[in-house]
Each structure stands twice: as structure tokens, then as C-alpha cells.
Amino acid sequence: MTTPDSFRTLLTTGVPRVAVPFTDGTSDEELLEAIGAGLDVAEIRIDLFATTEPAVVLEQVQRLGAAPTLATIRSAAEGGGWTGTDADRLRLFEVVLPTVDAIDIELSSRAILAEVIAAARTAGKPVIVSSHDFARTPPLEDLEGFVADARAAGADFAKVATLAQEPADLATLAALTIGHAGDGLIAVGMGELGPASRIFLPILGSALTYAAGRQQLVSGQLSLADTVAALADLSPTYAAAGDERHTPEP
């Protein structure tokens, strides 16, 4: 596990960073393979675990902690697998917070948002407040409104993921990213035009991009190998960071 400050630093140095989502079905071999291939952050998708019994979840989260960890319990309303109660979801966040390096919760999860952020503050862990639109890319002013709302809610990082259906959608995400470069915005495009966004948005200043491990969990993700290779070719900053970007802190 990294320290909270080192996780924040990891995402604010200006070097593109790559996250890969994992579940309780991820083997130790796959995790170590990803770390060696250029993984920066292991996103632990607890909402996709086979069981959400707290003790079992904590055991699996600890097992996956060989890299900086981001715990996500994505709601079904925003494309995730969580269909349980708000109380149980809050409890899982509280259980894993001492073990993980950061958490991700949707702005739309208003019933528990303030409590989850308060628990993260008590634990000293950074929070990504996210929004996922699988139907469209909203106008830039709407996305700016989300970023402002996420900040007001207490986000350390604001994440926007939208369906990119045409070049204008990518232009909107690019404008948002450029406008917030360096202040902790994470921008992602999904769908057929999503793969390009996974490369050029981090180059423009998105704090984190997401790639697929052995299994693609979200549309628009490139493989980890392809993501790392493209960033190394196209981002001088990423290429110059070399192996340092792959080395988790003790």
C-alpha cells in the first residue's frame, strides 16, 4: 500500500498513469504480469466480486494490494454490478478503506456519498468522485457543472466517463481535459471511439487512463500492452519516466 500523499502525487506529476480493473477472479499471476507490463494502479472492482461478504472482500483486497489500489463499488445505475443496499455498500467502503490507497464513488450515489467521503477523510485516503454516461457525451457546460459539483462534494479527483459516438464528443472531452489539466481531472471516452481517448486524453492532462487486463470489463478499453506502447510512443513525458512509473512504493 502506498501512502495517501504518494497516491495523490502519483496522479498529479503530469506523467500519464494507467489503471487496470481486477476482480476476485484475478489470479496472482495476472496481477504480477500487469505490474511488470506497466500497471500504475490496480482498480479493485468489488462490485464484480463473486461474494460481497466483508471478510472475504477484505481478504481479496489485501491479496490484490501488490500495486497502488483504487477500490470501486460501482452502482448498477452507472454500469456497475452493485445491486445491494446503500447500507451494505457503505459498510464495504468502510471495511476496505484502511487497506486500499484510494476509492471511487459516483456523484449520483447521494444516499451515501457524504458518509463515504467522510470515512475516506478519516482514513486519510483520496477520493475519486465519478460520473458515467453510457448514452452520450453531454455538452461541455454540463461536464463542467459535474466537475464543480464533485469538487464541492469533497472530491480529490473528478472522473468523467462518457459515450463517444462522433469526433465532436472527443473534442468535448479534450476541451474539458485541457481546461482542467493538472487539477486532478480524469476523462475517459467509451464506445467505438473510446480507444483513442484512452491515449490522447492522458497526454492532454487526464490524471488516469484505464486499460484492460486479460478481460475487457468496459467498452472502449485498449489492452494494457497496447496502452503502454502507445503512450511510450506518443508521450515524451511517459517515455522519459521509464521504469519508475511501474514501481509501486513499499
Catalytic residues: 132, 159
Sign, CA dihedral 187-190-195-196, equals negative
Placement of cell 459516483 in the chain: 106
Sequence letter at residue 4: P
Contact 210, 184 (CB under 8 A): no
DSSP per position, 49-77 = SS---HHHHHHHHHHTTTS-EEEE--BGG
Cα distance between the two ends of the chain: 7
Return the number of other C-beta atoms located less than 10 Å from residue 145's C-beta: 12
Residue 228: CB atoms within 10 Å: 21
Question: Could you tell me which of 220, 125, 140 has the C-alpha nearest to residue 177?
Answer: 140
Residue in this structure with the C-alpha cell 502507445, named with its chain if needed: 230
Report the helix count and the strand count for the chain, using DSSP H and E: 10, 8
Question: Which residue type occupies 159?
Answer: K
41 vs 198: CA distance, rounded Å? 15
